[in-house]
Amino acid sequence: MRQGGRLEILRHSTKCIVVSLISIGLTFIGLPVRAQSISSASIKGNTLASEYYVGVEYGKPLISVNIVSGVSKPGVYHVPIGTDLAQLMAYAGGSTDRADLEEITVRRSLGQNQEIFVYDLERMLRRPSQMPLLTEGDVVHIPLKSSADKTLTWVNLIAGVVSIGLSIVLINDIGRRQ
């Protein structure tokens, strides 16, 4: 065997080992993993960090959908055709504590027009047959509930300012009486 031939085999073997180690690591943390050729892995390696390829249904075409807030890992997801809203949320790491699951919007482009659908996920989970299927280019937005902590912080701040103001008025009033 030529020296150049060995070097090429070594490069190919190293790439296979790296891809295998990454796949093994992802399997242990519970993510579905699908084997890819080195060339497709190299192409996908240049994508943004918030872009995900999910699903384990071999041979099924993928569609691209965006989930922009309310989940642990927002981003662009390439999911199998037939993926519903609940599955997308599961792929994205589930909802956050502050996600408002009663007001989920899905923006869908229909040619030059755009439709907006509003879903109550909590209600739909009781009737899985009503779970909407996603289509190519859908943008999912899960609004965040206003945090009670932030509200309490503002109430405490206002109460503190009022308390200081009243204290100043009382001290001035007592000073005038003496």
Q: State yes or no: pLDDT of 125 exceeds 60.
A: yes
Q: By C-alpha distance, which of 91, 37, 93 is closest to 64?
A: 91
Instruction: Say which CATH superfamily domain 49-164 falls into.
Output: Outer membrane lipoprotein wza domain like (3.10.560.10)
Q: Burial code of 57-79, b = ≥16 C-beta within 10 A, e = fewer?
A: eeeeebbebbbeebbeebebbbb
Task: Band the pLDDT of 1: cuts 50, 70, 90.
Answer: very low
Per-residue pLDDT of 147-177, as tens digits, reads: 666 677 778 888 888 889 888 988 888 888 8
Query: Residue 132 has what DSSP assignment?
Result: P
Backbone angles phi and psi of 118, in degrees to 5: -115, 130
pLDDT of the residue at 56: 65
Show Cβ contacts of residue 46 under 8 Å, excluding neighbours closer than 6 positions.
none
Q: By C-alpha distance, which of 70, 28, 25, 72 is closest to 52?
A: 72
Break the chain into its structural domains and give their ranges.
Answer: 1-46, 49-164
Q: Burial code of 19-35, b = ≥16 C-beta within 10 A, e = fewer?
A: beeebeeeeeeeeeeee
pTM above 0.95, yes or no: no
